[in-house]
Chain A
Amino acid sequence: MALSKLQYNSINVTPTAGEGIRFNSGANGFETASAGGNLVKLSASTASSSATISFTSGIDSTYKEYLFLFNSIHPATDSANVQFQGSTDGGSNYNTTITSTYFQAQANASETALEYDGGQDLAQSTNFQTILGKEVGNGNDESASGMLRLFDPSNTTFVKHFLATGNCQDTEAMSRQGFTGGYFNTTSAINAVQFKMSSGNMDAGTITMYGVK
């Protein structure tokens, strides 16, 4: 007998919105389970001589954590920083107050260092925040890659924390890993995020946003 339709309640599990179905641990029945894993791709943007890259939708209460992955971000201008800011009005303004820390490990043929860089942190500032290591080179093969995690952006009680780490190559043949941590000091929901270079355009690279269940 051909099946033309399976009734939702013909599988002996309690339906749960958004959940999938899998065999249970005894492999003798079904149970609900997370549908498709805990990392969900939401959107992606590829830079091409872009002044800014903004994510103005998809940042809401659906997820408690959002992950942005950066691959081969290439600046038009030498020694520019990858930076970001958050918006509480859907992207009309990117000027949320940030307090943050920044430290880095760096090395080239002539020096090594593990240091706090007070020039990249923010203290109750509405400026854009440096991430992924400062001073990315614009040589043909130079770039920055890394990640940014934004926690509970829709919360209207607490500040909104973020953590970022990334590695970049600068024009002095230096490898630099930057660690940024901080918070948007607002109880308004962050509902949009914008990325840009501190100077000039973002010539190439991809930024992909994921929701973490």
Chain B
Amino acid sequence: MALTKFEYNSFDVTPVASNGFAFNSTPNGLTTASAGAMTLIKTQTASDVASVEFKHGTSDVVLDGTYDTYLFKFIGMHPETDATDMTVNFSVDTGSNYNVSKMTTFFRTQHYENGTSGVVAYIAGNDLTEGTGEQYLNQDGSMGADNDQCLAGKMYLFNPSSTTFVKHFMSDTIEVNAGDRCREAFVAGYGNTTSAIDAVRFKCSSGNINGTIKLYGVTK
């Protein structure tokens, strides 16, 4: 007789909410197993769009006190416009406004495909001093739009739901620059607000954007 459905209590383990099951250590039976500490919350695949937004409570996005640490991953981010950049901003009103005051630092490495100009440098024009505008995630005007050019990286956002502390974030991106350079950018700072951040937006300074952005929550 083919089995088409298992009852949850048909496995000889004690059910634990949100846990999976795995072979035990012997292994001659089954036991409950943690579901893992990094949960994929949402994947958005952008195709020639003005921006990508993650709003708490919209389209299954969770961005609240459920997790203390959130991780965004950028995969194959490709601009429609050459020599632009990818930016981020935060909202405390679920995306009605993206204008959180930010204090940030920005430095990057670069190396040309022809082997020259390997360097690391702080780029003062790319940081923010209590600015409410967009924060560059790669150097301004740098992102290449050739068919094979793109950006990849990640950004951590810490404790966004806190109503006591500022909200720290750190990103690390790698790109093919419009001038055929490899550039890695390190951005860090804090949203200088004690309001909860409940939405995050990514876009290009000019033109539309393509690519995949994944949002993960890390179990606290």
Contact = CB atoms under 8 A, between A and B. Distances in A.
A143 B188 CA distance: 14
Nearest to A143: B165
Interface residues of A, number: 58
B166 A142 contact: yes
A145 B23 contact: no
A16 B162 CA distance: 42
Contacts of A105: 105-107, 122, 186, 188
Given A17-B25, A21-B21, A105-B188, A165 B170 contact: yes
Interface string B1-32: 10100110011100000011111111111100
B219 interface: yes
Contacts of A113: 122
Give the contact-size bracket for chain B.
Answer: 35 or more
A178 B121 CA distance: 15
Interface residues of A: mostly helix, strand, loop or mixed?
strand
Nearest 10 A/B pairs, CB to CB: A37-B36, A177-B188, A35-B22, A145-B158, A114-B122, A36-B36, A3-B10, A35-B33, A105-B105, A145-B168
Interface of B: 1, 3, 6-7, 10-12, 19-30, 33-38, 68-69, 103-107, 120-122, 124, 127, 129-130, 156, 158-159, 162, 164-166, 168-170, 186, 188-190, 192, 194, 218-220
Interface of A: 1-6, 8, 15-21, 32, 35-41, 44, 69-72, 74, 105-109, 112-114, 140-147, 165-169, 173-177, 204, 206, 208, 210
